[in-house]
């Protein structure tokens, strides 16, 4: 059994340290009030048993709480008092250098929680350590100086989660929908260098990757670009290649005819497209931003976004190449093809690609093949999205289809009716057209729904009362985020605010006008709807008796967002939080506050957003149909998934799921496995096994447990993770049941 020290490092549990601590307090009181040696052993063993039954790796603070409880239970109140005083004095001494200890521990790679905080960061790399060091300092400053004490306390207790506090001290925001079209067509500036409109597709792709890297270094969340914005440069290259071919033919006095010239041009054009797409695929994977990780980038593939037939055909060519290269994968250091984490791909299911006989069904079949092997693309239903996302004046079924900002965070529909009067001064502004590219999210604060329910103790009146109190805490936390951005000048991130990624403001101009009126969003996150409903009703939210309560909880949060929005002219939006590492934090906090409650706090994780619990038997189609109700009530961000086995030999079933997605749910993905053992070459599923109370990854073929010698790809929060996960998330991955 392990224990987590104050600096975050894990060490083997040692009962003698508990015994010695009790003896030390014992020696501070008169002989008549001391514990006997037998009582010392008894109390220590009880604490050990409780640690083993905790359901997670306990911290030093938790052990000390348990010791206090045992001393009180044995009626040795004076010993307990001395123990509490000693603990308080030591804590005061440590308070001054807690951050120092954490930084030193992460530099030496001993801080287990930080090491596994982000499954796409390698904590042994100095650039990642530098980011984590800065993050620890920023967290310390944020919690001591920048946030109200009650919000800090609620965050530390796991009642709410104030996301990305390691970036809060700076005037940074969450995620972006990049206006790549404006930057490519009208030029941009990168690191003081003017970048003009590119003269080929491959150059446009190269510029796009530089933009992606620059943007990722100026914000802390995900970002998305549309492949449609690169498609016009295919024809630019086509015309350039045609001129070259015609010049070559003239030089040798050859007259092959128009058909032959066209054939040569298209052949060379395909090579150009392949080079450009390869630039995106490889540069995104190999780039490292100032955050110490690859950019969290999503590439959107939407045929109906093209402006004309030629552009649509060229876009299809780009999509085809993107899918082919992603299916192939990238080579690891041993030269073996593996699944990369980025870029995330989203493929839009539309009337002209979703069924056999439609013009672009060949792309959908290629997408299915890619998903079965590489877990991407994910799928957006144009049909359902146009039902859900209605800009001003639009009717259901005739709304908008657009990409999320990263893994799942969606902008609110354009409520201005006029593209916000081009408040961002974009060079590609179209009056009357809904505005999405160039908009962004200000930040997230998440409510722990499970804690609300357990605090209420099945008393419905008390539940709604506590719920409103906690929502107001989140509201105040979100206001802190908003107010931290107010007054930020465009000089803080020129690529974002001056050179087109989000806006083209003047130097020194404040970004404040982009924080109001719906141009940007701000997200009320939520986690643990399943456990919340079960705690209050005794049933899963999939049970017909409990579903109405689950929907009422969702509606109540939407109503609060609408209330705040009306009062402040800020687009608050309900967001199904990914909680990659927060799932473990919330679970540990719940166990500390409420103990082990069967079916609710007995695991090292809580359920993401509105999802069906990972252990609940349910078929793929029923799951997607059920969760579609909740997606509509989670407008600020939502994604659903189905867990599937190896489907590479059953692409018909994959396509059936995709077609079901098109008809029933807005945004969904298929989760499979894509692993490789570098020791023995095994390419099946790497297993999760338990070793001395800790979950570890193991090759079932050779027994390899060295994480540096295996490639594991799993989707845990919308993105694919490849650097392994904390114990709570690992347990959640292990518990997943198949839906197909």
Alpha-carbon torsion, ordered 156, 159, 164, 166, to 10 deg: -10
Matching residue, tokens 């110490």: 292
Residue pointed to by tokens 């939502």: 638
CB crowding 170-196: b at 16 or more within 10 Å, else e: eebbbbbbbbbbbbbbbbbebeeeebe
Catalytic pick among 409, 448, 581, 704: 409
Is-catalytic flag, 718? yes
- Give the neighbor-by-neighbor strand order of the sheet with 10-12: 10-12, 2-4, 58-59
How far apart CA 738 and CA 740 sit, in angstroms, is 6
The single residue of 360, 437, 499, 575 carrying the catalytic annotation is 575
Q: Examine the residue annotation and report whether 311 is marked as an active-site residue of this protein.
A: no
Q: Would residue 575 show up in a list of annotated catalytic residues for this protein? A: yes
The DSSP result for 597-624, as a single string, is -TTTTSSS----TTPPPTTS---HHHHH
Residue whose tokens read 């198949």: 738
Catalytic member of 407, 532, 561, 699: 407
- Smallest Cα–Cα separation from 399: which of 383, 421, 381? 383
Find the catalytic residue in 174, 381, 428, 726: 174
- Report the alpha-carbon distance of residue 452 to residue 535 in Å, rounded: 10
Active site residue 28: no
Catalytic residue among 580, 643, 698, 731: 580
Distance set, CA 427 to CA 377, 430, 437, 463, 706 (Å): 30, 9, 12, 50, 51
Would you give the distance in Å from CA 87 to the centre of its chain?
Answer: 38
Single out the catalytic residue among 205, 375, 405, 677.
Answer: 405
Catalytic residue among 51, 143, 172, 175: 175
Dihedral angle, C-alpha 10, 88, 53, 112, nearest 10 °:
-20
Q: Is 584 an active-site residue? A: no
Query: What is the DSSP annotation of 332-370?
Result: -TTS-EE----SEEEEEE-TTTSSTTSTTHHHHHHHHHH
Q: Specify whether 405 is catalytic.
A: yes
Whether residue 438 lies in the annotated active site: no
DSSP strand pairing (297-301 vs 223-226) = parallel
564-580 residues labelled b (16+ CB within 10 A) or e (exposed): bbeeeebbbbbbbbbbb
Tell me whether residue 455 is one of the annotated catalytic residues.
Answer: no
Rounded to the nearest 10 degrees, what angle do helices 309-328 and 258-286 cross at?
A: 50
- Give the whole-angstrom CA distance, residue 165 versus residue 198: 38
- What gap in Å lies between CA 701 and CA 681, rounded to an integer? 9
Choose the catalytic residue: 518, 718, 721, 728: 718
Q: Is 658 a catalytic residue?
A: no
H or E, element range at 450: helix 449-456
With 0-12 / 13-18 / 19 or more C-beta atoms within 10 angstroms meaning exposed / middle / buried, residue 327 is middle
Annotated catalytic residues are: 174-175, 405, 407, 409, 441, 575, 580, 718
């Amino acid at each position: 059994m392990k224990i987590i020290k104050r600096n975050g490092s894990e060490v083997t549990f040692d009962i003698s340290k508990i015994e010695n601590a009790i003896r030390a307090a014992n020696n501070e009181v008169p002989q008549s009030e001391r514990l006997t040696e037998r009582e010392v052993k008894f109390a220590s063993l009880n604490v050990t048993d409780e640690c083993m039954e905790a359901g997670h790796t306990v911290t030093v603070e938790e052990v000390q709480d348990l010791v206090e409880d045992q001393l009180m239970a044995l009626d040795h109140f004076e010993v307990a008092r001395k123990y509490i005083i000693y603990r308080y004095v030591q804590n005061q001494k440590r308070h001054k250098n807690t951050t120092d200890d954490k930084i030193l521990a992460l530099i030496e790679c001993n801080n287990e929680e930080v090491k596994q905080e982000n499954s796409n960061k390698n904590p042994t790399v100095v650039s990642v350590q530098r980011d984590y060091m800065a993050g620890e300092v920023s967290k310390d400053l944020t919690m001591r100086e920048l946030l109200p004490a009650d919000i800090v306390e609620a965050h530390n207790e796991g009642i709410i989660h104030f996301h990305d506090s390691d970036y809060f001290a700076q005037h940074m925001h969450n995620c972006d929908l990049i206006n790549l079209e404006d930057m490519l067509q009208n030029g941009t500036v990168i690191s003081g260098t003017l970048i003009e409109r590119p003269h080929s597709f491959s150059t446009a792709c190269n510029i796009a990757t530089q933009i992606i890297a620059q943007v990722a270094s100026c914000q802390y969340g995900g970002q998305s670009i549309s492949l449609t914005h690169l498609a016009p440069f295919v024809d630019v290259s086509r015309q350039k290649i045609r001129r070259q071919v015609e010049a070559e033919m003239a030089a040798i006095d050859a007259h092959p005819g128009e058909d032959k010239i066209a054939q040569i041009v298209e052949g060379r054009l395909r090579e150009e497209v392949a080079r450009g797409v390869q630039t995106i695929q490889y540069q995104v994977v190999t780039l490292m931003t100032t955050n110490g990780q690859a950019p969290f980038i999503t590439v959107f593939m939407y045929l109906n976004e093209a402006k004309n037939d030629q552009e649509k055909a060229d876009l299809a060519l780009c999509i085809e190449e993107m899918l082919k290269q992603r299916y192939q994968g990238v080579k690891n250091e041993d030269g073996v093809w593996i699944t990369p984490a980025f870029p995330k791909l989203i493929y839009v299911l539309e009337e002209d690609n979703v069924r056999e006989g439609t013009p672009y069904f060949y792309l959908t079949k290629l997408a299915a093949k890619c998903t079965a092997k590489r877990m991407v693309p994910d799928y957006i239903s144009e049909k359902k999205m146009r039902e859900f996302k209605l800009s001003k004046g639009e009717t259901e079924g005739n709304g908008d289809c657009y990409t999320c900002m990263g893994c799942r965070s969606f902008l609110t529909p354009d409520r201005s009716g006029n593209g916000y009067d081009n408040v961002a001064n974009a060079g590609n502004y179209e009056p009357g057209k809904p505005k999405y590219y160039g908009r962004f999210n200000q930040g997230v604060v998440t409510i722990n729904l499970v804690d609300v329910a357990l605090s209420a103790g099945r008393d419905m009146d008390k539940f709604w009362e506590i719920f409103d109190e906690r929502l107001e805490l989140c509201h105040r936390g979100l206001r802190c985020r908003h107010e931290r951005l107010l007054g930020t000048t465009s000089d803080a991130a020129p690529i974002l605010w001056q050179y087109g990624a989000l806006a083209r403001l003047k130097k020194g101009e404040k970004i404040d006008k982009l924080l109001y009126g719906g141009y940007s969003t701000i997200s009320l996150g939520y986690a643990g709807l399943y456990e919340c409903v079960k705690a209050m009703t005794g049933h899963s939210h999939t049970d017909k008796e409990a579903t109405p309560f689950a929907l009422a909880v969702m509606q109540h949060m939407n109503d609060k967002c609408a209330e705040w929005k009306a009062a402040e002219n800020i687009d608050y939006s309900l967001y199904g939080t990914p909680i990659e590492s927060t799932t473990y934090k919330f679970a540990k906090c719940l166990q500390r506050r409420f103990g082990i409650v069967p079916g609710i706090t007995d695991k090292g994780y809580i359920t993401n957003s509105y999802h069906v619990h990972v252990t609940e038997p349910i078929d793929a189609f029923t799951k997607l149909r059920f969760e579609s109700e909740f997606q509509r009530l989670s407008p600020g961000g939502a994604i659903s998934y189905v867990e599937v086995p190896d489907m590479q030999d059953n692409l018909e079933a994959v396509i059936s799921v995709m077609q079901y997605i098109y008809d029933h749910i807005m945004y969904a993905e298929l989760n499979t496995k894509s692993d490789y053992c570098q020791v023995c070459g095994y390419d099946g599923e790497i297993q999760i096994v338990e070793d001395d109370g800790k979950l570890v990854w193991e090759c079932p073929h050779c027994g390899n447990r060295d994480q540096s010698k295996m490639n594991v790809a799993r989707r845990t929060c919308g993105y694919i993770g490849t650097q392994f996960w904390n114990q709570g998330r690992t347990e959640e991955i292990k518990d997943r049941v198949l839906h197909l």
